[in-house]
Amino acid sequence: MLIDCRFLKGYVMSLTIRKIIVLGLIGSVLLTANVLFVANWLADKGVVDWAKNIRAEYLTGTAITIIAVLLILLISPRAKTGGLVRRCPVCDHVLLAKGAYCSECGSKAA
């Protein structure tokens, strides 16, 4: 079976990454198949009661809202602009020319 990989644009997964993905998929299938067994095991060990206690004590609506806002604010303000603006990896200076070196600090710009 041949797979069309034109959408990858030159990126190729290594064998190790492929093995990790396959093992993760196998593990998720086995976990899904035994979800009742895993749920009963967690209830027997007391994890469910512990999680209910933690949720009641610490995860109020305000706490969840604050955590969500902080996670949103953690996103980098310098989003990738699709290659229109290049920056120096050392001094973060905007590279206007297409040269191989930064005009500010002289380091090689990839």
* C-alpha 97: how far from chain center: 32
Q: Is the pLDDT of residue 75 over 80?
A: no
pTM of the model: 0.35
Backbone angles phi, psi at 95, to 5 degrees: -95, 110
Specify the long-range contacts of residues 12-20, CB closer than 8 Å, at least 24 apart: none
Q: Tell me the domain boundaries of the chain.
A: 12-75, 80-110
Contact 104, 91 (CB under 8 A): yes
Average pLDDT value for the chain: 81
User: CB neighbours (10 Å) of residue 42?
Assistant: 14
Contact 109, 89 (CB under 8 A): yes
**Angstrom distance (rounded) from CA 73 to CA 67:** 10
Percent of the chain with pLDDT over 70: 79
- In this predicted structure, what is the pLDDT of residue 74? 81
Q: Is the pLDDT of residue 17 over 50?
A: yes
Q: Which residue did the predictor score with more confidence, 18 or 74?
A: 18
Q: Is the pLDDT of residue 82 over 60?
A: no
pLDDT category of residue 1 using cuts at 50, 70 and 90: very low
